[in-house]
A and B are shown apart, each in its own frame.
Chain A
């Protein structure tokens, strides 16, 4: 069973508009959720995480994500997209920090 899913291969948004990159996870214990961004030919950069506490977490570069237990989702959002946000975004979940499950990735295209 897939532990984390990113239903959109690609998201297109105009610069200045809000963006959302979706992520849902399979219920199996208490999930800890992460978002990473990958630029071409680079490793992954950590954006934000939900471990416990406030369901709305704020991260790097103005990104935020909301942990929604009832919908088993952890969508990544930003109020105003920048062209420089164009990259590949990965959602990841772990239940014990011994193994992380990554989504298939969503390519974000921000057009000027």
Chain B
């Protein structure tokens, strides 16, 4: 149980395009979803926290107009990187907590490369 999927696992795009990453909880209802960014050999940096049906809460320094987060249902959250640039290249990981919210379950991550 407690499986979280992400799609796509890899994406390469041209600078200036937008990329959407999906995060799904497959066997539980995710009341809260988290989006992280991880640079090589570094820890996870929390970007934003989203609760179903409400606006995401962004961490300081994260541009909400650039990283659009939608948590439209209890099983799906999306992160859209708008007008991507090479510096946005990174490993993006989502996680989800269910009712009770004790444990975060992580997706497998999405590697974004912007050329």
Give chain A's interface residues, CB within 8 Å of chain B: 32, 34, 36, 41-46, 49, 51, 90, 92, 97-100, 102-105
Contacts and interface: CB of A to CB of B under 8 A. Distances in A.
B58 to A, nearest CB: 12
B104 A100 contact: yes
Contacts of B93: 43-44
Contacts of B42: 104-105
A22 B44 CA distance: 18
B109 A46 contact: no
Q: Is the interface of B mostly helix, strand, loop or mixed?
A: strand
Q: How large is the interface on B (under 10, 10 to 19, 20 to 34, 35 or more residues)?
A: 20 to 34
Q: What 9 pairs between A and B have smallest CB-CB spacing?
A: A43-B106, A44-B106, A43-B108, A43-B109, A97-B101, A104-B43, A102-B44, A102-B43, A43-B107
Contacts of B2: 46
A86 to B, nearest CB: 15
Contact of A41 (B6, B41, B44, B109): B109
